[in-house]
Amino acid sequence: MRNFVLRYLIPRLGQWVMVIFLGVTLTFIIPRLSPNDPVERQVSQIMMSGANINPEAVAHLREALTEMYGLKGSSFQQYLAYWGRLLRADLGPSLSTFPTPVTQLIARAMPWTLGVLLTAVLISWILGNLFGGLASYYPKNPFIRVIDVLSQAVRPIPYYVMSLVMLIMFAYVIRIFPFSGAYPPGTRVQFSLPFVLTVLKHSALPALSLVVVGMGGWFLGMKSLTSNIISEDYVVYAETAGLRENKILFQYVMRNALLPQITGLAMQLGTIFSGALIMEVVFGYPGMGMLTLQAVMANDYSLIMGIAIFSIIGVATSVLILDLIYPLFDPRVRYQ
Amino acid sequence: MLRVIRDLLKYDGRFRFAFVFLLAVLILAISSAISPYDPGRTFKVPADQPPSLQYPFGTNSRGQDMLWWMAFALRNSLFLGLMTAVVSRVIAIFVGLTAGYRGGFVDRALMSINDSFIVMPVLPVLILLSFLLRGRMSLVMLALILGLFGWPWDARLIRAQALSLKERAFTRTAVYSGTGSLKITLNEHLPFVLPVVFATTVANMLWSIGMEVTLSVLGLSNVELPTIGTAIFWANQHQALVAGIWWWLAAPVVVAIVLFLGLYLLFSSVNEYIDPRTRLRLMGG
């Protein structure tokens, strides 16, 4: 147990701290390196919209904004204050929907993203691995070969383009799924059976586009991992010993390839999350991606900052959780 | 080089596909030099024409010829991909070879930075960055920024190779005969890593072109510059699907799929070719 803590848990927690530290520092440095001063930009934007603002009010506004962006004092003091606000989970008010706090907007959007993302990742990971294992064990099966070719074809397509293809095919050419949104406009968000059903119908296409691209990747990964394992001595031995085929496939072949695939999932999580953001923009799905688009359109600097920081911390933490579950699957780590 | 291409064409179906796809892409990209008009100018041709002999990809609601827009888009996207690949390759080679050769503390420090970059969701950071630079973001600048984020996967691959190269007899001979570590990594180790570097170049191009599409779609790049992403951006702005002008979206989507599939098939075919075992199996040796 002590070994587990020293060799696995502590380095892993260290990495989590490192990711968040690097990410937050990046979000601190980037705005300060940029040639556009966010305060001046905000001031000029407000000046352009409202015609008559006296200079005194402008000076006051400038000061308030400087305060809000944490631009007071030396860079180091600013940096410390930045961390201070983050640790209190204070991301400031959104500028476009003033004075709603950014955290509240994110909390409203997050469940939508999480729902479709988790479902899609689970389905694609399980199906991709299952078919991948089958593919190297039964290389001649025609059904599996079709999946193989399809996986190779969809693997390189970016989420954005795949979502567009899905949209054109299943909402425009064959009109079986709705164009956009998670529910028809004007519906009240509630927890009732008809509402859940419409949400499911609206979410099917977004989820499908994530599943299709993701599954291709897991399939190819699993196939290449297991194709090396099936020629291992212990598999040949199990075959000569006359074990049942599905026992060999699941417990001898796929079991050993599962661990790198879990690590792979942890490492891909950031990419998958980014893909989901983009998928939402295509489908007008009201999650984090749409929130980002709105923030960009409305020039809402604090909201974009908040989304960036939240995404980094959120993804790093999910990866950490996944890595802490990992020992459950790996007897070598568990029994150390 | 030519022999490698000939061998691959002969033995690998994927490479044949990649060859045809990329050739088509290249021809279209190069033909941008003979474009009869500047694709960025609006209302040069009649608007909303469906694909026909005169306008093979149709024209959009802004009076632009999609064929020439796509030709310029491919040229720009390929340029962006190559430039990003060069920048991130330099970082990846440097980090990978140093970490693998030095080992110990340097290796652990570099790899923990490396892994942090792998795990971090790049898109939100890029969105923040390009949001702040909006309007000033040139293609070169975007390529540089993407290059700064695109190296960690490949640095890991290169490090793995450098780790095993370090244990080989020739490295020890070089060390004992007094060769400096910079010279060993550059002269002795780099040539072994180059095939992997080439394969990852293609993968990195895929990534960076995809990122450009993503940022453009959000309207965060220079939207007047023809790229695959900005074509989609304008189509969305004008709600092309609702208006029934499907070719406005179909043109960039089809071109993107051909480009991405071509690059990916090239990548996976070259990747297998590098491994002598699979190469022998392919050629039936």
Q: Which residues contact A22 (CB under 8 A, 6 or more apart)?
A: B113, B116, B117, B120
Task: Kindly state whether residue B51 falls inside one of the protein's structural domains.
Answer: no
Establish if B148 touches chain A: CB-CB under 8 angstroms: no
Q: Give CA–CA dist A111/A124, Å, rounded.
A: 20
pLDDT in tens, A234-254: 888 988 998 888 888 888 888
pLDDT value, residue B91 = 94
pTM: 0.83
What is the model's pLDDT at position A123?
A: 94
Q: In A, which residues are within 8 Å of B218 by CB distance?
A: 281, 292-293, 296
Interface residue B14 vs chain A (CB under 8 A): yes
Domain-located, residue B25 = yes
* Predicted local confidence at residue A50, as pLDDT: 59
**Contact across the interface for A312 and B122, Cβ inside 8 Å:** no
- Are residues B71 and B28 in contact, defined by beta-carbon separation less than 8 angstroms? yes
Kindly state the percentage of chain A with pLDDT values over 90: 10
The residue segments making up the domain with residue B216 are 14-31+65-282
| Coil, helix or strand at residue B283 | coil
* A308 with B116: Cβ contact below 8 A: no
Q: B117 touching A, CB under 8 A?
A: yes
Contact check, Cβ <8 Å, A15/B112: yes
- Closest among B226, B277, B232 to B251, alpha carbons compared: B232
**Distances in whole angstroms, Cα of residue B38 to Cα of each of A70, A112, B25, B135, B249:** 45, 43, 19, 20, 20
- Could you tell me if A89 and A289 are in contact, meaning their C-beta atoms sit under 8 angstroms apart? no
CATH of the domain at B226: 1.10.3720.10
Asked if the Cβ–Cβ distance from A152 to B265 is below 8 Å, we say: yes
Name which of A22, A30, A158 is nearest B116 (Cβ-Cβ).
A22
Give this complex's ipTM. 0.79
Q: What is the pLDDT of residue A51?
A: 52
Mutate to test the interface with A, among B114, B128, B144, B236 (most CBs of A within 10 A): B128
Is the bond preceding B50 in cis, omega lying within 30 degrees of 0?
no
Give tens-digit pLDDT for A95-108.
777 678 888 999 99
Q: How far is B203 from chain A (nearest CA, A)?
A: 9
C-alpha distance from B97 to closest chain A C-alpha (Å):
22
pLDDT score, position A82: 84
Mean pLDDT of chain A: 83
> What single string gives the DSSP state of each residue in A32-49?
HHSSS-HHHHHHHHHHHH
- Asked if A270 lies within 8 A of B121 by C-beta distance, the reply is yes
B contact test, residue of A274, A291, A305 with most B CBs within 10 A: A274
Please report the pLDDT score of residue B277 as a whole number: 65
Max mean pLDDT among A34-48, A155-169, A208-222, B267-281 falls in A208-222
- Written as six digits, the tokens of B103 are 């080992």
Residue B246: its pLDDT value, please? 82
Q: Do B246 and A296 touch (CB under 8 A)?
A: no
Instruction: With respect to residue B165, please indicate whether it lies within any of the assigned structural domains.
Output: yes
> Is residue B213, in this structure, part of any structural domain at all?
yes
Closest chain A residue to the Cα of B236, Cα to Cα: A282
Largest CA distance in chain B: 73
Higher pLDDT, A4 or B120: B120
User: Is residue A150 within 8 Å of residue A216, measured between CB atoms?
Assistant: yes
Distance from CA of A241 to the nearest CA of B (A): 29
In a domain, B44, yes or no: no
In a domain, B265, yes or no: yes
Please tell me the predicted confidence (pLDDT) of residue A333: 63
State residue B285's pLDDT score. 45
Separation CA B28–CA B60 (nearest Å): 19
Residues of A in contact with B132 (CB under 8 A): 30-31, 34, 36, 38
Sign of CA dihedral A208, A212, A214, A219: positive
Residue A271: closest C-alpha in chain B: B121
- C-alpha–C-alpha distance, residues A138 and A141, integer Å: 6
**pLDDT, tens digit, for every residue of A181-197?**
667 766 666 777 778 88
Among partner residues A22, A267, A293, which is closest to B218 by beta-carbon distance?
Answer: A293
Q: Phi and psi for A271 in degrees, rounded to 5?
A: -65, -45
Nearest to B256 by CA among B21, B43, B15: B21
Checking if the pLDDT of A48 tops 80, the result is no
| Distance (Å) from the alpha carbon of A191 to chain B's nearest alpha carbon | 31
Name B103's Cβ contacts closer than 8 Å, sequence gap at least 6. Answer: B163, B166
- Chain B residues in contact with A297 by the CB 8 A cut-off are 219
pLDDT at residue A8 is higher than 60: yes
A334 min Cα distance to partner chain B (Å): 23
- How many separate domains does chain B show? 1
pLDDT digits (tens, 9 = 90+) for B59-94: 877 878 888 888 999 999 999 999 999 999 999 999
Residue A227: Cβ-neighbour burial (10 angstroms; 0-12, 13-18, 19+): middle
Which pLDDT does position A185 carry in this prediction? 67
Question: Does B41 map to a domain?
Answer: no
Q: What is the CA radius of gyration of chain A?
A: 25
pLDDT reported for residue B283? 60
State the pLDDT at residue A298.
83
Which residue in B115, B125, B131 has the most chain A C-beta atoms within 10 A of its own C-beta, making it the best mutation to test that interface?
B131
pLDDT the model gives residue A193: 78
CA-based diameter of chain A, in Å? 90
Whether B267 is in a domain gets the answer yes
Alpha-carbon distance A85 to A91, whole Å? Answer: 7
Query: Which chain B residues touch A19 with a CB distance below 8 Å?
Result: 115-116, 119-120
pLDDT tens, position by position, A138-157: 888 899 889 988 888 888 88
Touching check for B121 and chain A: CB below 8 Å?
yes
Give the residues of chain B that fall short of pLDDT 50: 285
